[in-house]
Amino acid sequence: MGTEWLADAVIYEIYPQSFADSDGDGIGDFRGVIDRLDHLAWLGVNTIWFNPCFDSPFVDAGYDVRDYLQVAPRYGTNDDLVELVAAAKERGIRVLLDLVAGHTSIEHEWFRRELHADGPDPDGDRYVWCESPPIDEATDHLPGTPLWVASPGPRPGYYLKNFYDEQPALNFGWADLPDDQPWRDAVDAPGPLRNRQALRDIMSFWIERGVAGFRVDMAFSLVKDDPDKVETTALWREMREWLADAHPEAILIPEGSEPRTGRALAFHADFFLVIHEEHASLFDNGAAGLLPWTDHAPCFFDAAGAGTARRFVDAYEEARRADPDRLVVLASADHDFDRMSTGPRVGDQLPPAYTFLFTWGTVPSLYYGDEIGMRYLPGAPDVEGAVCNQAYNRAGCRTPMQWDTSTNAGFSTADPDALYLPIDPDPDRPNVGDQLDDPDALIHHVRAMIELRRTEPSLSPHASTRVLHDGYPFAYVRGDELLVIVNPSGAEVTLDLDDLADRAAAGEQLIGTGVEIASEKATASPFAHAVIRLAG
């Protein structure tokens, strides 16, 4: 089968700390996930993506890895993860892990060894060290913070970091090697080659235990001073070629979109992330804060109706320009900013967004809790590095899953003060149990959309897409068979159907509400959405 399965994937991202706590310590764990796998199978999910679950001191919520080959004790044991993978497989669900490839924790054995050395490792340094760093610049992720950190141990000099000070950058070499910076290693120097082999060893270790592949954190940060990412993508192309031979069904998805270098693409898909323009143009309504690197133009899925889908469509088409069959993963939300339900976007505004998410030609990724409309929680406390700055609070999208109306919303039996993050205090917060009993609840719409995507070949990423209108309503035809109309705005809007008028009028509405076809027009009421099988 190879990696063709990814085109049919419906990904469900689980932030493991916050999904389900089985032992009452206030933190989610693998056993809790195992106990909830039937929920995912009922929903129609066939792929789980876990945020990092490796051993860590959790300065950055597990994105500071202490040991890639051991899971964090808070989640259980390696055997528990293997059991989870097997139990998921029985339900037709694959498991992806988050691979933190560009840096480790300062507590990793590799770093501790180099920190206590007198100088460079004879086998090649795994990290980037220099006695006197060059003139510093701000990092991309934490503006105003230095790239270089003074050595806290016997080794003299400074080490290069990637994000927080506790996350030293792994040494994959430099694309540029100026004479006045002799500490820079070439990409094929011993240290970088050791780290490349370590990536293969880590991936093999987990694939051999049943894991289906990896989402790679900061995938394009590896080779430094590589502005066009030619060397970095070459590294991942090498990994892709190795995977194709050693583990032909395993996949790699990057954090973000892969830079186009004119050579064969390395990853199996691009990922339109919450914190990037492609996704922000659809869903970032500003209610969770203002990211400094986005343009803050009105998003499309907003009641004001002031946005446009054109920015997303252009980005999607550009991503597929080099390869018409290129897969693009698009998430409802993720662990790094807001949620689909953020600020004023609630209730009836959500179904149009999910109708789009599961009918466009992307691989959908559903963030845990988004199926019930869990909201972004403003002012959530800073836990494990979640608050990067005043305008960037990631904790608000990481609150515990809301399962029912029992203590702690069914997430944990722990004292509320012991929870990893507080439960949404709103007494009307949605939960799985109540929504299961309500046929009109969001969870049933999400399930129906997943089922429709599974059963309709015209909703495959490989089926054609023809955009009819990129304003309000957003309308497009998939596979010359299905007409999709979504109106995220709070106003009634109309669309001339032109050559599709007769086929739409005689067609069958498969799902949706608020769309009427008459007099060669489609009229969409506020927050309307529909999928119509065209006649003929």
Q: Where in the chain is the domain with CATH 3.20.20.80?
A: 4-100+268-453
CA distance 46 to 6: 10
Which CATH number does the domain 104-169 belong to among 3.30.230.10, 3.40.1410.10, 3.90.400.10, 3.20.20.70?
3.90.400.10
CA distance 58 to 27: 13
145 φ/ψ angles, rounded to the nearest 5 degrees: -100, 145
Cβ distance 300 to 488 under 8 Å?
Answer: yes
DSSP 168: B
Q: Where in the chain is the domain with CATH 2.60.40.1180?
A: 465-533
Strand pairing category for 482-486 and 474-478: antiparallel
Return all residues near 201 (Cβ < 8 A) that are at least 6 apart.
none
Token code pair at residue 516? 């009427």
- Strand segments, DSSP code E, in 236-370 are 251-254, 269-272, 327-331, 363-367
Tens digit of each residue's pLDDT (9 = 90 or more) over 387-402 = 987 778 999 999 999 9
Cβ distance 41 to 93 under 8 Å?
Answer: yes
Token code pair at residue 285? 């309504």
CA distance 18 to 30: 11
Three-class SS of residue 295? coil
pLDDT tens digits in sequence order for the chain, 536 residues long: 799 999 999 999 999 999 999 999 999 999 999 999 999 999 999 999 999 999 999 999 999 999 999 999 999 999 999 999 999 999 999 999 999 999 999 999 999 999 999 889 999 999 999 998 887 655 555 555 679 999 999 999 999 999 999 999 999 999 999 999 999 999 999 999 999 999 999 999 999 999 999 999 999 999 999 999 999 999 999 999 999 999 999 999 999 999 999 999 999 999 999 999 999 999 999 999 988 888 889 999 999 999 999 999 999 999 999 899 999 999 999 999 999 999 999 999 999 999 999 999 999 999 999 999 999 999 999 999 999 877 789 999 999 999 999 999 999 999 999 999 999 999 999 999 999 999 999 999 999 999 999 999 999 999 999 999 999 999 999 999 999 999 999 999 999 999 999 999 999 999 999 999 999 999 999 999 999 999 98
Cross-strand pairs, 215 = 98, 253
Cβ distance 160 to 145 under 8 Å?
Answer: no
Tens digit of each residue's pLDDT (9 = 90 or more) over 248-291 = 999 999 999 999 999 999 999 999 999 999 999 999 999 999 88
Q: Where in the chain is the domain with CATH 3.90.400.10?
A: 104-169
The architecture in CATH of the region 4-100+268-453 reads Alpha-Beta Barrel (3.20)
Tell me the fold of 465-533: Immunoglobulin-like (2.60.40)
Question: Quick one: which of 77, 22, 78 has its CA closest to 401?
Answer: 22
Return all residues near 313 (Cβ < 8 A) that are at least 6 apart.
467, 470
Taken as a whole, the chain contains a residue count of: 536
**One-character DSSP codes across 361-390:** SSEEEEETTGGGTPBP-TT----TT-EEET
